[in-house]
Chain A
């Protein structure tokens, strides 16, 4: 997955790595969190997903790697149907889809390096992981990934000794270990202060530009989406309210997405 995409035949406009078709999710309590959501993500795009809290952003992202089972609809990824994959197939799909989380979701008591190596589990024999064994290449790779997000010196610290921004960078390094083609980020900066937020977003931008990893990132702030994304998808009550470049969101659209009382808050 180097940055160069091969030239496409003229009859194909774009190659869609991810196609979401009529995705619907109804939780057991009857809440319809996603309602007939369809869109396509071409290779290498940075998509921001915005919307009020409760609008279905997390549900959408978790349906893509089936941390949540969709109720209806299909998700196609490089022409593989994720929704009908069995356990084993799902594992092989998941290991090429990285994910980072608002709460970082590191194992707090484990070392940073162990957390990063966990990203490699999909490629490791489970009997080897039983005795905590990773190959030497994996170790070197993990250190290289930590180097890349600028915290190689913290490799032997416990994860909970790190600051929030650092923890999120460990999360990114862990996802990178998967050698992902697609990165799902569920409000990755919502627990961070503005300055740290930008540094984390810059790393995501870097992955998108340098490694050509497609990114689906839910964000609270429109300003962040505007700065970093190629495209914004706005959800409202589980439906797509807007889909297009961030510049197209004017005052009227903004009020449609965030409600009449919403005031723009900028994050520098």
Chain B
């Protein structure tokens, strides 16, 4: 029998057996670790409490009603001479509500029968023990857990209660009966009001978080779309120059555009008119606007690739962007002004909102300026030097590659290391980036030494393996060296920031910290090697690098739960809905960024090709070819995300993020399950209504 089986069947069977064995082990361990114990669910006291909690949750305190009561009391005799002589109950003659006690003389612990007459028929009633000091205690009828009982249809009740422990037996104690019934229409309870208020806060939290995420996710989605980024490859020389000039552009951008933007904010907010510069400013601005308008008209017809033409075009672009930023700043300033004017009554809400928008613009305008400056300067200079670099041949190209590549590596690792000085764990990035550079340098060396063809289809399997091994070895070696040089154990083990000593190289002191200096040195060497090997002409898949980078960041961000982000933001901006907005917003950026970029990857590439072939720039291709195609799915996914955010914002309050979760948690902690029931009902209603709405709208769009 065994001999007749093929070895494949035997191996498959063996695999199945091993698989089952592993599954058994995993599940046994799982049952053990998760404390699964069904006896717990059978426990009597736990069942009573869960029944009570569920019953209260299912009787939410939604409505309230005005009520009327009838009171009646009977005095209790506690010290008796003729012990045990029970008096007969006789129905009172009047029509007033009356309480009668069967036993005339009682002591603590006795079960007595209390009877009531002439109460309002079919009405809930309670009994209370009122001692001389007036601190009444409710009396629970014997044999029940509910203190409320019903008056019968004749207005009579007879209820057995236990006499509580008594102090002050010489004085007058009373048993009081109260029958209470509602009058008029029911109205929303205080809990309901609170819940509605918090629910609005919750929905708005979700709205703000989604809104915050949309523009950022929109921008990122283009960088994380494979089909757009795949084509982007740039000659090495351009990459080197572009990266080197990023920080320079940032600094210049914050200086020029930041200043222009702030000037705009000041102008708009009227701060400027306090100073004397106001008269000079207005004409200057008008002049600027006019010259730009003239320039734009001329720009339409500018053609050619000469340096002077490029410089002129660049100058005009710089001006136009400056005007854009200026206008943006003025708008921000005007928003601030408006918020000061609209500070009362109904309009105050708008004023407040405008003020916030103005604040945001005022706070971010320098950063925005820096960003724009960095992108503009680096792309322009990269294009410009292309002219010079183009004519470099042979060894010149490799020397230029070595120099420019080296500077680029220094800049990159310098920035990474600077980032690393902000937190101990962030210091890890420097060795990691060094290792990545090491891997690439090693692969480049391998390719050079063994003369591997650059084109993928010409690379043999052995060569590919060899290159892979080379890059792994390079990465490991460089990681170890960097970890050693940068004193990584200090950050990892002791959790301490890098030391602040000065960087020295061959006895010369540099004005940077040694941590940063060493990192820059390693970056320069590795990147210099790569630059020397590649020269300045080899085309570098910059697009795929950006694609991989942004995908990694998005995935990492998505893996952090909003509740955990919420904890951090609560520490940062305090308890309240703002923390919730930030936490959900950040998570939404990651989630939407991924969804959006997948939509870009799904578009029809034909129109892109067509628009590209007309001589359009990349930006124009995206605006005319990509954007019209992605608008509908973007709207659909944004609605979907809002829907999810509403769901999440209902619980973000559990960690202090505001909204309904915040009061739900309080109610649960205080065992106010009837109130919690209202909150839960509200969540269920709002979530399902929004779910339905967004599904309907999405269906129509797609």
Contacts and interface: CB of A to CB of B under 8 A. Distances in A.
Contacts of A30: 457-458
A26 B457 contact: yes
B617 A107 contact: no
A32 to B, nearest CB: 10
A125 B299 contact: yes
Looking at B317, B613, B625, B629, the one whose CB has the most chain A CB atoms below 10 A away is B613
Interface SS of chain B? helix
B99 to A, nearest CB: 80
Contacts, number: 124
Contact of B613 (A92, A94, A126): A94
A125 B457 CA distance: 39
A105 B607 contact: yes
A124 B300 contact: yes
Contacts of B321: 127
Contacts of B615: 91-96, 121-123, 178
A171 interface: yes
Nearest to A119: B614
B21 interface: no
B171 to A, nearest CB: 88
Nearest to A111: B628
B455 A129 contact: no
B284 interface: no
B616 interface: yes
Interface in B595-641: 604, 606-607, 609-617, 619-621, 623-625, 628-629, 631-632
Contacts of A67: 609, 612-613
Interface in B278-306: 296, 299-300, 303-305
A109 B620 CA distance: 17
Interface string B313-336: 000010011001000000000000
Interface in A95-124: 95-99, 101, 103-110, 114, 118-124
A126 B317 CA distance: 9
B300 A121 contact: no
Given A28-B455, A174-B610, A121 B624 contact: yes
A121 B616 contact: yes
A125 B320 CA distance: 11
Contacts of A101: 606, 609-610
A177 B614 CA distance: 9
Contact of B305 (A65, A88, A96, A103): A88
Contacts of B624: 107, 110, 114, 118, 121, 129
Contacts of B617: 91, 121, 126
B455 A88 contact: no
Nearest to B457: A30
A107 B300 CA distance: 24
B456 interface: yes
Contact of A123 (B235, B300, B386): B300
B390 interface: yes
A71 B390 CA distance: 19
A247 interface: no
Do most interface residues of chain A lie in helix, strand or loop, or is the interface mixed?
mixed
B616 A122 contact: yes
B300 A29 contact: no
Contact of B623 (A27, A129, A177): A129
Contacts of B77: none
Given A92-B303, A124-B300, A105 B610 contact: yes
Given A29-B457, A86-B390, A87-B383, A125 B614 contact: no
B617 to A, nearest CB: 5
Interface in A191-250: none
Interface in B643-692: none
A184 B613 CA distance: 10
A92 B305 contact: yes
A197 B456 CA distance: 40
A89 interface: yes
A239 B197 CA distance: 75
Interface residues of B, number: 41
Considering residues B607, B612, B625, which has the most beta carbons from chain A within 10 angstroms of its beta carbon? B607
Contact of A118 (B606, B616, B631): B616
B623 A130 contact: yes
B614 A126 contact: no
Residue of A28, A92, A126, A174 with most partner-chain B CB within 10 A: A126
Nearest to A177: B614
Given A87-B383, A127-B317, A127-B321, A107 B625 contact: yes
A105 B606 contact: yes
A128 interface: yes
Interface in B356-408: 383, 386, 390
Given A29-B457, A125-B300, A107 B628 contact: yes
A12 B631 CA distance: 54
A135 interface: yes
Nearest to A134: B300
Contacts of B456: 28
A30 B457 CA distance: 5
Contacts of A94: 612-615
A97 B613 contact: yes
A28 B305 contact: no
Interface string A74-97: 000000000000111101111111
A126 B313 CA distance: 11
A65 B611 contact: no
Nearest to A123: B300
A109 B603 CA distance: 12
Contacts of A107: 607, 611, 624-625, 628-629
Interface string A167-180: 00001001101100
Given A29-B457, A105-B607, A107-B625, A124 B620 contact: yes
Interface string B193-210: 000000000000000000
Nearest to A102: B606
A126 B619 contact: yes
Given A86-B390, A103-B606, A121-B624, A128 B296 contact: yes
B84 to A, nearest CB: 96
Contacts of B324: 127
Contacts of B631: 109
A235 B628 CA distance: 37
A122 B614 contact: yes
Nearest to A29: B457
A85 B628 CA distance: 30
A64 to B, nearest CB: 10
For B304, B383, B614, B632, the residue with the greatest tally of chain A CB atoms inside 10 Å of its CB is B614
Nearest to B458: A30
A71 B458 CA distance: 13
Contacts of A121: 611, 614-617, 620-621, 624
Nearest to A127: B320
8 contacts: A86-B383, A88-B383, A91-B616, A106-B607, A121-B616, A127-B321, A129-B623, A129-B624
Given A126-B619, A130-B619, 13 more contacts: A26-B455, A27-B457, A30-B457, A88-B383, A99-B613, A101-B609, A105-B606, A109-B629, A110-B624, A125-B299, A128-B300, A135-B300, A174-B610
Interface of A: 26-30, 65, 67, 71, 86-89, 91-99, 101, 103-110, 114, 118-130, 132, 135, 171, 174-175, 177-178, 184
Interface of B: 235, 296, 299-300, 303-305, 310, 317, 320-321, 324, 383, 386, 390, 455-458, 604, 606-607, 609-617, 619-621, 623-625, 628-629, 631-632
Closest 10 CB pairs of A and B: A122-B615, A95-B615, A30-B457, A105-B606, A121-B616, A105-B610, A94-B615, A99-B613, A107-B607, A121-B620
